[in-house]
Amino acid sequence: MRVLGPAVALAAALLGRPLAAQEAAQGLAAAPTPAEAPAGALAAKPAAPVGTMAGIGSDVIVAPPPASALAPPPPPPPPITLVLNADLGAQRLTVVENGKRRYTWAISSGRHGFATPTGTFRPQWAVKMWYSRQYELAAMPNAVFFHRGTAFHGTSAVGLLGQPASHGCVRLAPGNAAALFKLVHKHGFAATKVVVHGGSRQRQPSRARRGGSAEMASAPAARGERRAAQRRASYWED
């Protein structure tokens, strides 16, 4: 009996190890895997909200802000520091700089059938010398365009200043047109306002009176004819 006791104990120990390993394997098989986990356990985890800033590694796509939100607002327009006031009734241009009257010049605006446009404008472009494409390439020195093809510019027909004579432009004496050209560039187009108002007074050319069968043309009538010829020649300018 004493000889069998240790042998039995050794056999029991050897048989216990496979049984323990089998029980451990059964315990692992019984544990639930993530795929077999209850649906409630997965639903309990909150989802990341859409439209918020996502963390590193997140699949959430956030739309960029609109370009209007990123662009700075446009600067305000500059104040008006130069006003060109053309009175078609008086045939005068008044230049107001920084709120003070600086010049008053005689002009020639559009004659009958070629009215100068009225309203409030700003200079659109300017050129030191321009040649009219509509009226026989007539010279238009120191031209400041303020409405389509209408411009302030110098003229050689200074004898007609003070009365309508052009095809719509506002004519000035050559020196005055040069001074205006410099002022407009000094202040800039955005800070210059052009105001054209009033109606042009129309002059009728002098006519020789007839007395009986003979023409009795006086000296004033002859001067009127010369002026009419000057007007006809100057109409080709603008």
CA 217, CA 206: separation in Å to the nearest integer? 10
CATH 2.40.440.10 for the 82-234 domain, yes or no: yes
| Residue bearing tokens 């190890």 | 17
DSSP 227: H
Q: How far is CA 128 from the centre of its chain?
A: 24
39 φ, ψ (degrees, to nearest 5): -65, -30
Return the domain boundaries, the chain. 82-234
User: Amino acid identity of 52?
Assistant: T
Tens digit of each residue's pLDDT, the chain (238 residues): 455 555 555 655 555 555 555 555 565 455 555 555 555 545 555 555 544 455 555 566 777 777 767 778 888 989 999 999 999 999 999 999 999 999 999 999 999 999 999 999 999 999 999 998 877 778 899 999 999 999 999 999 999 999 999 999 999 999 999 999 999 999 999 999 999 999 755 554 444 334 444 334 455 555 665 655 554 444 445 6
Could you give the 3-state DSSP secondary structure of residue 171? strand
Q: How much is the pTM?
A: 0.58
Q: Confirm if 120 and 194 have CB atoms less than 8 A apart.
A: yes
Tokens of 44: 């309990």
Beta strand ranges found along the chain (DSSP E) = 82-87, 92-97, 100-106, 119-121, 125-131, 139-147, 150-154, 170-172, 192-197, 210-211, 214-215
CA distances 10 to 7, 18, 93, Å, are: 5, 14, 130
Q: Confirm if 87 and 95 have CB atoms less than 8 A apart.
A: no
Tokens of 122: 């700003």
Q: Confirm if 126 and 184 have CB atoms less than 8 A apart.
A: yes
If one counts every other C-beta atom within 10 angstroms of the C-beta of residue 49, the result is 8
CA 95, CA 102: separation in Å to the nearest integer? 6
DSSP states of 69-101: HHSPPPPPPPPP-EEEEEETTTTEEEEEETTEE
33 φ, ψ (degrees, to nearest 5): -85, 165
